[in-house]
Amino acid sequence: MTTFKIKNRLAKDKLMLWSVCVLAAFTAVPLLAILGEVLLRGYDQLSWSFFTEPTPTAYKAMKAIEAGEPIPGGIANGIIGTMIMLGMAVIVAVPVGILCGAFLAENSKNRFAQVVSYLTDLLQGTPSVIIGIITYIWIVVPMKGYSAIAGSVALCIMMLPLIIRSTEETLKILPASLKEAGLALGGNKARVMLKVQLPAAFGGIFTGVLLAISRVIGETAPLMFTALGCSLIRFSIDKPISAVPLLIWEFFNDPNLQELIWGASLFLLLFVLTLNLLSKYLAKKWNQ
Amino acid sequence: MESVTPILEFKKTCVSYTKQTMAVKYVSAAIERNTITAIMGPSGCGKSTLLRAVNLMHNLYQNIRVDGGILLNGENILAMEPIDVRRRVGMVFQRPAPFPTMSIYDNVLSGFTLNGIKLSKAEKDVTVERCLRSVTLWDEVKDVLNKKGTFLSGGQQQRLCIARALAMKPDVLLMDEPTSALDPIATKHIEELLLELQKEVTILIVTHNMGQARRISSKSMFMYLGELVEYGDTEAMFSKPSDERTKAYLTGKMG
Amino acid sequence: MNDKIYRVILFIAALIVPTVCGGVIYALVTDAYDAFEYFGFFKFLTSSEWSYTEGAEQYGALPFITGTLMTTLLALVFCIPFSLPVALFVGEYFKGTKIAAVLSTVTDLLAGIPSIIYGLWGFYTLRPIIMALDISEQGSGILTASLVLAIMIIPYAASLSAEFIKMVPNDLKEGAYSLGATRAEVIRKVVFPVAGSGIFSSYVLAIGRALGETMTVTMLIGNTNNIPDSITSTGNSMASIIANQFGEADGLRLSSLIAIGLILFLITAAINMVGKIMIKRARIS
């Protein structure tokens, strides 16, 4: 073989390495661009009142814009709504998800468990907008109105498969000796699960829950047909309520409120990404 | 007396994984053409590391340094392009690993495909038959050439891997414990094969099996803690080792 | 608590998943029934009319099915040239190094950004660029939506592909190197063929994600109810028509939207199932 051909092949090899590096590095561009844009346009909106006051009406905002003043008000209604709905969703989804995950981990050979496992995948892959439709049909129609309950049901359904999976996977990688040791000491299965396996799996399950929260906290579509949104700070769970992503959607659609988009987005983005990084960090720490 | 350039020559070859520790220390030896040379030694003595230096396998990994010289037909391979060296120095590994996505036929030709060399159909057929015959696999697989190589037995797979290396017509064939994953019958088969093959290629074989070294090799190296302790005729070494450490190893007093 | 009660509790908890799934299908089918009965199942699928003039209501899903398929496939096309290099970077070239961990974190964070924020970025940053480049007049459309969608699915395709690339046995790679191949040749002729089915299945799952993506597409696709005639024209996807009109719809239109939801659910479920089965097979072999 000629040296020319070897040179040619080596050149191709180099080219491949460089294109892989360049193209891979390119994926950081949208992340930086999004972070940068949201930060630059949003940071000066963040103030104490932004977190303590509810959204202004379009009329008020219009007046402020006409007068050349900053738009009054903030996203407190959204933050409180998100917290209420998320709280209710977590209270239901975490225990149910852990129990269901424990069931899958203990009966992995069982036919029914395989069906449940498959359906968990199905649920996890279901587009969020469809979860919205379903919750509308199940909750909003019978209750004759949009409500925080409906919103939290939608979030709960989306969190469930994530928590089930992380519980199942964490329990499955625990050494079998752990469970056997517990059983050998005379504990029954329930006690061993509660006192030995679940505490040992705590780290994995906890990061799974954090990740599940970070996934659903930015969901907009399912809340549009369930929680609807509300410009007041509300604590009742049977009335329409707002959420941070819903507010962003409102601001996006209302020319008078558009200035508020970036502050709200910055808040949401920082919250989600912090949760994300935190769960990754904890997972790494607990895995050692 | 004529002086012949040895086909392969180690000149103070050193291999180090970290700055402090050397896995192979100043090994010097000349390998004769068309011989089988066995490299023996307890595990961790650097025998595989030395072998892998010959086809620049260490270049694949960061932090591994090879110093000194390794001459192939008088040329220092450490200064050559790895892909060029590796085409001239074949290698067979401990565990048979034919390419699972290729047929037996394509496995034999994989060296050409990987190097981007195009062959005509006739050339391909000739090469496949020649190589499979030389590893005595032809009669067993000639009707199933289009099946995946992974369907063969372990011994057959290893012979396929030897055929794949031979297809490139290498000057030297490196074998890293090629029979340690095989059963005794397959091992015997491969040993007989190697004795035949030394007519066409110089073989350097790492083995932890002393019987094997004695049965097939004409020259032997004994390595210990990265050093080449002894190198000479196999028969002489087994019957009258000159170093205490070699003696201890050969008599089973050392791992 | 004895074992029996414990098992019953676990069983009941596990029942919730089939119950929810059954409920999803039941609710979608019963509420979509009106639309299917009124227009006929096939007619509904193949009709491209979407008009809610009272008395002459006419609803068909074809424009939205087309819109969804176009955005998804285009997103896939834009995604591959970036996700494959990321997978190679993390799974082969810089496997196990710090820099690979950094890139993984970058893609993880990309996966964590809420879809509404992607929509905003697409609307306020990408759309003006598309307009400035004179690609389309209004800036929004299939192309804009697909570009952002592509960024959103890069993390999913890349991390899963990287997992399969990492699993290619070192024996095989060393075998190929020992025959004189360059790294590029090893990747093309050994790594890709061996990891191929796994890589393919990760793209199937990425498609599954793209199909149902709602807010980004809703904000960028232009929201017109006709069959898009080119990639720069506007349209609507199944998810975006639902997001746009569900709140104001009732009667036949509501039922039609739910029918579109049912179709979307079935397509996504089928794609995800195929992807999961393929992944299981790829992992075993």
Q: Which helix (H) or strand (E) holds B221?
A: strand B219-224
Asked if C252 reaches chain B (Cβ–Cβ under 8 Å), the answer is: no
Q: Specify if C59 maps to a domain.
A: no
Q: How far is CA C4 from the centre of its chain?
A: 42
Domain count, chain C: 2
Quick one: pLDDT band at residue A73, thresholds 50, 70, 90? confident
Cα separation values, A218 from A8, A162, A166, A268, C118, Å = 50, 15, 20, 7, 11
CA distance A175 to chain B (A): 30
Residues of A (31-90) whose Cβ lies below 8 Å from C: 31, 33-34, 37-38
Which residues, including other chains, have CB under 8 Å from residue C53's CB and lie 6 or more apart? none
* pLDDT confidence bin for A271, thresholds 50/70/90: very high
Q: Is the pLDDT of residue A288 over 80?
A: no
B65-72 and B75-76 strand pairing: antiparallel
Q: Determine whether the interchain pair B115/C180 forms a contact, defined as Cβ–Cβ distance below 8 Å.
A: yes
Distance between CA atoms of residues A13 and A34, nearest Å: 33
Average pLDDT score over chain A: 92
C128 in contact with B at a CB cutoff of 8 Å? no
Same domain for C91 and C44? no
In a domain, C57, yes or no: no
Question: Helices (H) and strands (E) in chain C — how many of each?
Answer: 13, 2
Task: Give bridge partners of residue C235 from the DSSP assignment.
Answer: C222
Distance CA A266, CA A244 (A): 11
HEC letters along C70-84: HHHHHHHHHHHHHHH
- pLDDT for A5-40, tens place per residue? 889 999 999 999 999 999 999 999 999 999 999 999
| A10: chain C residues, CB-CB within 8 Å | 182
> Do C87 and C8 fall into the same domain?
no
Q: What is the pLDDT of residue B150?
A: 86
Residue A1, pLDDT above cutoff 80: no
Shortest CB distance from A13 goes to which of C123, C184, C219?
Answer: C184
pTM: 0.93
Q: Which residues of A touch B117 (CB under 8 A)?
A: 1
pLDDT of B1 over the 60 cut: no
DSSP assignment, residue B7? S
The three-state secondary structure class of B252 is coil
Does residue A164 belong to any structural domain of this protein? yes
Are C178 and B97 within 8 A, CB to CB?
no
Tell me whether residue A17 is in a domain.
no
Q: For chain B, give the number of residues.
A: 255
Q: Chain A to chain C, count of Cβ pairs less than 8 Å apart?
A: 244
pLDDT 10s digits, B105-136: 999 999 999 998 899 999 999 999 999 999 99
A33 falls within a domain = no
C156 and C221 belong to one structural domain: yes
C96 lies within 8 A of chain B by CB = no
Testing the interface with B: which of C164, C179, C200 to mutate, by most B Cβ within 10 A?
Answer: C179
What mean pLDDT, rounded, does chain C reach? 95
CATH code, A112: 1.10.3720.10
Q: What is the pLDDT of residues C187-242, one digit of tens each?
A: 999 999 999 999 999 999 999 999 999 999 999 999 999 999 999 999 999 999 99
Give CA–CA dist A266/C249, Å, rounded: 32
Handedness of CA A251, A252, A256, A261 (dihedral sign): positive
Name chain B contacts of A6, Cβ cutoff 8 Å: 81, 83-84
Distance CA B56, CA C178 (A): 9
With CB atoms and an 8 Å threshold, state whether C108 touches A276: yes
Q: What is residue C162's three-state secondary structure?
A: helix
Structural domain boundaries of chain B? 8-250
Q: CATH class for domain B8-250? A: alpha beta
Q: For the segment A220-240, what is each residue's pLDDT rounded down to a tens digit?
A: 999 999 999 999 999 999 999
Query: In this complex, which chains have at least 3 CB pairs below 8 Å with chain A?
Result: B, C
The alpha helices in C40-182, defined as continuous H runs, are: 41-46, 62-88, 98-112, 115-121, 127-132, 142-166, 170-178
Contact C24 A189 (CB under 8 A): no
Kindly tell me if the per-residue pLDDT of C8 is higher than 80: yes
Q: Using CB atoms, which chains have 3+ pairs under 8 A with B?
A: A, C
> A48 in a domain, yes or no?
no
In a domain, residue A277? The reply is: yes
Taking Cα atoms as reference points, which of C196, C202, C173, C199 lies closest to residue C185?
C173
* Residue among A247, A209, A221, A265 at smallest CA distance from A96: A209
C-alpha distances (whole Å) from C47 to each of A170, B34, C66, C81 are 48, 78, 11, 35
Selected residues 82-121 of chain A with any CB under 8 Å from a CB in chain B: none
Whether the CB of A10 is below 8 Å from some CB of chain B: the reply is: yes
Question: Domain limits at C29?
Answer: 3-51
**Residue A261: its pLDDT value, please?**
94
Q: Does C281 touch chain B (CB under 8 A)?
A: no
A16 and B CB contact within 8 Å? no
User: Which residues, other chains included, contact A144 with Cβ-Cβ below 8 Å and sequence gap of 6+?
Assistant: none
The proportion of chain B whose per-residue pLDDT surpasses 70, expressed as a percent, equals: 98
User: Is the residue at A47 inside a domain?
Assistant: no
Interface mutation target, options C178, C191, C192, chain B, most CBs of B under 10 Å: C178
CA separation for the pair B135, B127 (Å, rounded) = 12
Mean pLDDT of A263-282: 94
C72 with C28, same domain: the answer is no
Distances in Å between the Cα of C66 and the Cα atoms of A149, B76, C226, C227, C254 are 35, 63, 9, 7, 20
Range of the domain at A216: 76-287
Q: How many structural domains comprise chain A?
A: 1
The pLDDT of residue C284: 79
Measured in angstroms, the CA of C24 and the nearest CA of chain B are apart by: 42
Tell me the CATH number at C85. 1.10.3720.10
Point out the residue among B57, B99, B100 whose CB comes nearest to the CB of C177. B57
Q: DSSP assignment of chain A, as one string?
A: --HHHHHHHHHHHHHHHHHHHHHHHHTHHHHHHHHHHHHHHHGGG--HHHHHSPPPPHHHHHHHHHTTPPPP--SHHHHHHHHHHHHHHHHHHHHHHHHHHHHHHHTTTSHHHHHHHHHHHHHHHS-HHHHHHHHIIIIITTTTS--HHHHHHHHHHHHHHHHHHHHHHHHHHS-HHHHHHHHHTT--HHHHIIIIIHHHHHHHHHHHHHHHHHHHTT--HHHHTTTB--SS----SSS-B--HHHHHHHHHH-GGGGGGHHHHHHHHHHHHHHHHHHHHHHHHHHH-
Q: Are residues C10 and C145 in the same domain?
A: no
Q: For A126, which of C119, C182, C268 is closest by C-beta distance? A: C268
CB-nearest to C261 from A130, A193, A219 is: A130
* Chain A CB contacts of B87 below 8 Å: 1
Q: Which of A96, A112, A220 sits opposite C16 (nearest CB)?
A: A96
C240 and C280 in a single domain? The answer is yes
Q: What angle do CA A50, A51, A53 make, to 5 degrees?
A: 70
Residue A287, pLDDT score? 74
Whether the predicted pLDDT of C80 surpasses 80? yes
Tell me the residue type at B124. K
Average confidence (pLDDT) over A62-91: 92
**Could you read off the pLDDT of B78-101 as tens digits, one per residue?**
999 999 999 999 999 999 999 999
What is the torsional sign of CA B130, B132, B137, B139?
Answer: negative
Q: Is the dihedral of CA C199, C202, C204, C206 positive or negative?
A: negative
Q: Using only the alpha carbons of chain B, give its radius of gyration.
A: 18
Q: What percent of chain B has pLDDT over 90?
A: 79
Can you tell me the mean pLDDT for B196-225?
93
Same domain, C91 and C228: yes
Residue B247 has pLDDT above 80, yes or no: yes
C111 and C222 in a single domain? The answer is: yes
For residue A4, pLDDT over 70 is answered with: no
CB A99 within 8 A of CB C10: yes
A172, part of any domain:
yes
Whether the CB of B81 is below 8 Å from some CB of chain A: the reply is yes
Backbone dihedral region for residue A157 (phi beyond 0: left; psi -120 to 50: alpha; all else: beta)? alpha
Collect all residues of chain B within an 8 Å Cβ-Cβ radius of residue C189: 110, 113-114
Q: Are residues C213 and C143 in the same domain?
A: yes
Cβ-defined contact of C175 to B97 (cutoff 8 Å):
yes
Q: What are phi and psi of C26, to 5 degrees?
A: -60, -50
Evaluate whether residue C58 is within a structural domain: no
| Cβ contact C282:C202 at 8 Å | no
CA C235 to chain CA centroid, nearest Å: 17
pLDDT of residue A3: 65
Does B165 contact C193 at a Cβ distance shorter than 8 Å? no
Does residue A121 sit at the C interface (CB-CB below 8 Å)? yes
ipTM, 2 dp: 0.95
- Round to whole Å and give the CA distance between A164 and C17: 10
Distance in Å, alpha carbon of B64 to nearest chain A alpha carbon: 21
Out of B210-214, C53-57, C99-103, C120-124, pick the least confident: C53-57
CB atoms A1 and B116 under 8 Å: no
Residue C53 or A152, more confident:
A152
What per-residue confidence (pLDDT) applies to A108? Answer: 85
Distance CA A16, CA C282 (A): 26
> Residue A191's pLDDT is what?
86
Q: What is the pLDDT of residue B2?
A: 47
Domain assignment present for C136: yes
Interface of B with A in 96-115 (CB under 8 A): 115
